[in-house]
């Protein structure tokens, strides 16, 4: 479990955190916050350095797009979905956790 403050997140500027040693990309879209694995499923690029548009994040290396809500790969060259992490919001505190029962 990792905590961060909502106020520290800027719209359209994803950040990289670690949850139990796994790099996680956290993105704020409006009043919502999403967290997915930070490592692109195509190769070894950090998605937190990519571009956000709508609910999508685009990998900076070869341009694959993923849905931040579901982790689903939307465009080639990525085909595998990203792991999605649970996000809890309590006032200004955001808690990111691995989903229970899944790896
Ligand atoms: S490493 Fe992300 S699209 Fe290739």
pTM of the model: 0.93
pLDDT (tens digit per residue) in 38-88:
999 999 999 999 999 999 999 999 999 999 999 999 999 999 999 999 999
Ligand 1 pocket check for 43: Cβ under 6 Å: yes
How far apart, in whole angstroms, are the C-alpha atoms of residue 72 and residue 58? 12
pLDDT (tens digit per residue) in 13-32:
999 999 999 999 999 999 99
How far apart, in whole angstroms, are the C-alpha atoms of residue 103 and residue 92? 27
Segments forming the whole domain that contains residue 26 = 2-97
Cβ partners under 8 Å of residue 34, min gap 6: 26, 27, 55, 68, 69, 84, 87
Q: Ligand 1 mean position to 39 CA, how many Å? A: 9
Domain membership of residue 102 (yes or no) is no
Q: What CATH number is attached to the domain comprising 56?
A: 2.102.10.10
Domain membership of residue 103 (yes or no) is no
Ligand 1 pocket check for 77: Cβ under 6 Å: yes
Question: Is the pLDDT assigned to residue 100 strictly greater than 90?
Answer: no
Domains contained in the chain, number: 1
Q: Ligand 1 mean position to 92 CA, how many Å? A: 33
**H or E, element range at 36:** strand 32-37
Best residue among 36, 42, 50 to mutate for probing ligand 1's pocket (most ligand atoms within 8 Å of CB) is 42
């Amino acid at each position: 479990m990792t905590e961060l403050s909502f106020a520290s997140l800027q719209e359209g500027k994803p950040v990289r955190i670690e949850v139990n040693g796994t790099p996680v990309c956290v993105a704020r879209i409006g009043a919502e916050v999403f967290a997915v694995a930070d490592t692109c499923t195509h190769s070894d690029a950090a998605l937190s350095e990519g571009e956000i548009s709508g609910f999508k994040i685009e990998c900076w290396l070869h341009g694959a797009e993923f849905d931040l809500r579901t982790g689903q790969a939307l465009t080639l060259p990525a085909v595998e979905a990203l792991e999605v992490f649970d996000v809890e919001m309590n006032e200004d505190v955001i808690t990111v956790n691995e989903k229970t029962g899944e790896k």
